[in-house]
């Protein structure tokens, strides 16, 4: 169980008068003035979610003009197919491989940048560029680079391993997705770790250094434990983002070869916008959301927020 050392400090911050213990409860005025924000949240988040949940219990399709029919759990029973299980496996593979690659590399680069070696500002700016690009642009760019006939990577690797068909082999296609996702999102990990490292207490690190701690011991026993809340938040964000990944896969491999890189998001898109089976697409989307919630609650439990 992780205890947040800043929790007590945050709880002692001064409060507005209307929130202090013993004062009157928050007035209706405060609630009313914050209502537009709540209404926006309702319209953008809650209404689509509730609509999707409702649709998942119907037989709604765009290519049939029949009246809306409730079908109970039939759509959820249809999820228990090879297609959905395979998509879930693909998604978890992308998530796991992505975290294993992105977190350590992002952490190490952040540590190097934290040392503020000469030229670190230029390097830091350059490293953050991939994070600023849209996933579709990234996917298309790498699709051209990986092109097995005309792509740059083919020419670079031709001396080592000719005729690699990145999108014609299921393992290579998965590797391409994971590597491109890492290329784009390692900068996010760097930013988070750098912010965390900058806020670490210097005296603890200095004390460990004076005691003769080497790089590995310093990180294992001092830096990582102090940085743990930041690492957990970064893990959570990257987990959710990787789980939801759609545009990168759509632009890069379109879910192929076969269904080798068809993630749950791609499957939901295919069902809704390619097959026009809106109810089935909504069911997959709701199942995705339900799958992510336990992770979020586990995170809350671990950090006691």
Which of the stretches 108-116, 125-133, 232-240, 273-281 binds another protein when contact is defined by CB under 8 A? 273-281
Sign of CA pseudo-dihedral 217, 199, 294, 248: negative
CA 147 to chain centre: 27
Applying CB under 8 A, which of residues 169, 179, 241, 291 lies at the interface with another protein?
A: 169
Binding residues with another protein: total (CB under 8 A): 37
What phi, psi does 23 have (nearest 5°)? -80, 175
Sign of CA pseudo-dihedral 20, 26, 27, 33: positive
Task: From 74, 62, 78, select the one nearest 272 (Cα to Cα).
Answer: 62
Shortest distance (Å) from residue 232 CB to another protein: 37
Residues 128-167, one symbol each (x = binds another protein by CB under 8 A, - = not), give: -------------------xxxx------------x-x-x
Applying CB under 8 A, which of residues 3, 9, 21, 28 lies at the interface with another protein?
A: 28
**Upstream peptide bond of 261 is cis (omega within 30 degrees of 0):** no
Span 32-51, contacts to another protein by CB under 8 A: 32-33, 35-36, 39, 43
Shortest distance (Å) from residue 238 CB to another protein: 27
- The reply on whether position 210 binds another protein by CB under 8 A is no
Span 235-264, contacts to another protein by CB under 8 A: 253-260
What element of type H or E holds 193? Answer: helix 170-198
Nearest to another protein of 29, 80 (CB atom): 29
Instruction: State both tokens at 117.
Output: 């070696």
Task: From 263, 260, 264, 282, select the one nearest 272 (Cα to Cα).
Answer: 282
Rounded to 5 degrees, what angle do the CA atoms 75, 78, 84 make? 115
Name the residues that contact another protein, by CB under 8 A: 27-29, 32-33, 35-36, 39, 43, 62-65, 147-150, 163, 165, 167-170, 253-260, 270, 273-277
């Amino acid at each position: 169980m992780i205890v947040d050392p800043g929790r007590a400090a945050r709880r002692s911050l001064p409060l507005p008068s209307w929130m202090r213990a013993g004062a009157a409860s928050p007035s209706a005025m405060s609630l009313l003035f914050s209502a537009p924000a709540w209404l926006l949240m309702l319209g953008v988040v809650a209404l689509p979610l509730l609509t999707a949940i409702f649709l998942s219990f119907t037989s709604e399709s765009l290519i049939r003009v029949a009246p809306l029919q409730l079908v109970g759990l039939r759509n959820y029973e249809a999820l228990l197919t090879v297609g959905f299980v395979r998509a879930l496996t693909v998604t978890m593979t992308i998530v796991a491989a992505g975290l294993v690659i992105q977190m350590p590399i992002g952490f190490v680069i952040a540590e190097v940048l934290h040392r503020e070696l000469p030229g670190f500002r230029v390097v830091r700016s350059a490293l953050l560029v991939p994070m600023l690009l849209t996933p579709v642009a990234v996917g298309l760019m790498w699709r051209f680079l990986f092109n097995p006939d005309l792509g740059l990577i083919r020419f670079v690797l031709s001396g080592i391993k000719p005729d690699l068909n990145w999108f014609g082999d299921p393992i290579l296609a998965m590797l391409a997705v994971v590597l491109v996702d890492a290329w784009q999102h390692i900068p996010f990990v760097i930013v988070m770790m750098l912010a965390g490292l900058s806020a670490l207490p210097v005296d603890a690190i200095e004390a460990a250094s004076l005691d003769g701690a080497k790089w590995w011991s310093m990180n294992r026993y001092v830096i990582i434990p102090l940085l743990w809340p930041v690492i957990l938040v970064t893990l959570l964000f990257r987990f959710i983002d990787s789980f939801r990944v759609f545009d990168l896969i759509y632009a890069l491999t379109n879910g192929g070869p076969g269904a080798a890189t068809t993630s749950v998001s791609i499957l939901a898109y295919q069902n809704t916008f390619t097959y026009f089976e809106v109810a089935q697409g909504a069911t997959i989307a709701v199942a995705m959301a339900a799958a992510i919630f336990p992770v979020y609650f586990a995170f809350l439990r671990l950090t006691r927020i």
